[in-house]
Chains A and B, each alone.
Chain A
Amino acid sequence: MSGRLRSVALHLLLVVAACFAAAPLLWMVSASLMHAGEANTSPPPLLPRDPTLEHYRALFSSLSLGRYLLNSLVIAVGGTLLGVLITSMAGYAFAKLRFRGRETVFRGLLAGMVIPGQVAMLPMFLLLRELGLINTLFGAMIPVLAPIYGIFLVRQYAQSIPDDLLDAARIDGAGEFLIFRAVVLPTIAPVLATLGVFTFLSAWNDFMWPLIVLSDDARYTLPVALANLAGEHVLDVELMMGGAVVTVLPVFLAFLFLQRYYIQGIMAGSVKG
């Protein structure tokens, strides 16, 4: 095959694959702008005949999607801030601070990575009940507060901090916490951005744990509320697509603006892992 022909064939394949990836998302947006019942016609229309925002209005007025959006934001933003702080301290200490038992503890954590999170969920529910954390946004945040993969990711990155840099600060009389804040944090900022983006994503998209821990519908996150809505409004396709757009949009925007952090993080984690 000539080079030109091969190039055309390659790009044709790429375009088909890109359509496969993007079509469901584009259609979701398109259907959310259709009038009620319009998507349920045969053949299904690709574009709204007369675009309308009525479903978004209904979602935010009578179906209180704004509240769920707020819950989701509190859980994802709060979980991310706390999670990144806790994880970066631990990851740095495992990489750079010499203390007895460090390797043993770290190996223990790594071994824990093969245990699926769901194994812990039943006792965790009982525990949170005892602690009075059922139906609280903090309870829903717990899985992202100290992710082991995050500690691993930060540790990998922090290992490249030169010891001399830390020792020089110690000789100048800086305390360990000051060193962490003034020297370490700026150095590992890129990996913290990656970690933050991932933590936000997993907190925002999580479904099973919030479904278990949040039973009061005033506390629902967007995915839980959406699943609930889908059960009650099976036939209102356009309305549900509106809800789906609202749920996906924040993570999608985060992806568009921060994609280099995603991509770096995934590629770095895999090569070293």
Chain B
Amino acid sequence: MSSVTARAEARAGWAFVTPGLVLIGVFFAIPVLGAFLLSFTDFDIYSIGDPASTRFVGLDNYVDLFRRPLFWTALRNTLYFVVVGGPLTAVASLVAALLVNSKLVRFRPFFRSAFFAPWVTTLVAVALVWRYIYHPQYGPLNLLLGLVGIGPIDWLGSTTWAMPAIIVLSVWKNFGYNMLIFLAGLQSIPEELYEAAKLDGAGAWHRFRHVTLPMLGPTFVFVGVVTMIASFQIFSEPYVMTQGGPLKSTTTLVLFMYEEGFRWWRLGIAAAIAVVLFLLTLAGTLLQLRLRRDRS
């Protein structure tokens, strides 16, 4: 290859990546840096009219934030959602994948599609459906539970049950997606490993425990990281179903950020919440990658 064509190729390379890089730079990289800067200022509704009035306030927003009980409530609610909802989704997806992947299954594509269908739906729309399902008086859920003698529960009106109700909605919505990832993982396990284990006299449980689970290790890490990053960002579910209530029991970090930023126009404080969200996501991701490295 001559140096002329090599130069033409390099020029084309930059030309091809430039539109994407410019968009990512202007509408993602710069705003992310901007969020850090903003979090050290007192940017508020007055600054929107007159940006020059914004002052640098150092760490005041963070100090302020850490003193507010609502911040800790939102953090606790978000972690509750991440720590309970994440593993529940992972387990539900793995079970679904194992069932669908069984050699005995008939109509496999049908079941696979049925499980995957909730994932493609619009969250706002299905959150409204679930809001009705949870209705204390007319909701189908209480009707079903009533049949087995469990008395009507005001799911979304109770500080105890509102977050679990949101978690069930999100497991329902997301398990099909992770099921596909687990299916891909299951199908990449060489059949010989199972044959060998069978020859050694391993039963079904043993084969699952000593062949399937270890071979799915990387898949668990992938599902874990993706689910966790998405879970930290939970916003629409509480926004539509509970507006963060009752008594702030479903106010998450992003919902808190939205209200501070776009309802009260305290963008400085809201940016500090965004930075906390970023650090949490980063810490969670690094932790899971570390776990993966330690194992292998």
Contact = CB atoms under 8 A, between A and B. Distances in A.
26 contacts: A14-B100, A14-B111, A25-B126, A39-B132, A39-B138, A40-B137, A40-B138, A90-B19, A112-B29, A116-B232, A116-B281, A118-B274, A122-B270, A123-B34, A126-B34, A127-B27, A127-B31, A145-B27, A230-B131, A237-B132, A241-B128, A247-B124, A248-B122, A254-B120, A255-B120, A267-B183
A66 to B, nearest CB: 17
B165 interface: no
A116 B277 contact: yes
Interface string A145-189: 110100100000000000000010010000111001000000000
Q: Is the interface of A mostly helix, strand, loop or mixed?
A: helix
A3 B105 CA distance: 12
Interface of B: 1, 5-6, 8-17, 19-21, 23-24, 26-32, 34-35, 38, 48, 96, 99-100, 102, 104-106, 110-118, 120-126, 128-133, 137-140, 143, 172, 176-177, 180-181, 183-185, 188, 219, 222, 229, 232-233, 235-236, 239-240, 254, 257-258, 261-262, 267, 270-271, 274-275, 277-278, 281-282, 285
Nearest to A101: B14
Nearest to A113: B229
Given A21-B176, A241-B132, A255-B117, 8 more contacts: A24-B118, A86-B20, A93-B12, A105-B21, A116-B281, A125-B262, A143-B27, A266-B181
Contacts of A193: none
A170 B8 CA distance: 10
B28 A112 contact: yes
A167 B9 CA distance: 10
A109 interface: yes
Interface residues of A, number: 98
Contacts of A142: 23, 27
Given A97-B9, A116-B233, A122 B274 contact: yes
B28 A120 contact: yes
Nearest to A238: B132
Contacts of A273: 222
A251 B121 contact: yes
A207 B117 CA distance: 19
A132 interface: no
Interface string A232-273: 000001001101110110011011000100110011101101
A100 B233 CA distance: 36
Interface of A: 3, 6-7, 10-11, 13-14, 17-18, 20-22, 24-25, 27-28, 31, 39-44, 86-87, 89-90, 92-94, 97-100, 102, 105, 109, 112, 114-127, 129, 142-143, 145-146, 148, 151, 167, 170, 175-177, 180, 201, 204-205, 207-208, 212, 222-224, 226-227, 230, 237, 240-241, 243-245, 247-248, 251-252, 254-255, 259, 262-263, 266-268, 270-271, 273
A11 B111 CA distance: 10
Contacts of A125: 261-262
Contact of B8 (A120, A121, A176, A227): A176
Contact of A99 (B9, B30, B176, B258): B9
Nearest to A89: B16
Nearest to A114: B285
B275 A22 contact: no
A62 B122 CA distance: 23
B125 A244 contact: yes
A23 B67 CA distance: 44
A25 B13 contact: no
Nearest to A222: B122
B185 A146 contact: no
Rank and list the top 4 A-B pairs by shortest CB-CB distance, nearest first. A123-B34, A176-B12, A97-B13, A99-B13
A40 B143 CA distance: 13
Nearest to B125: A244
Contacts of A11: 105-106
Contacts of A114: 229, 281-282, 285
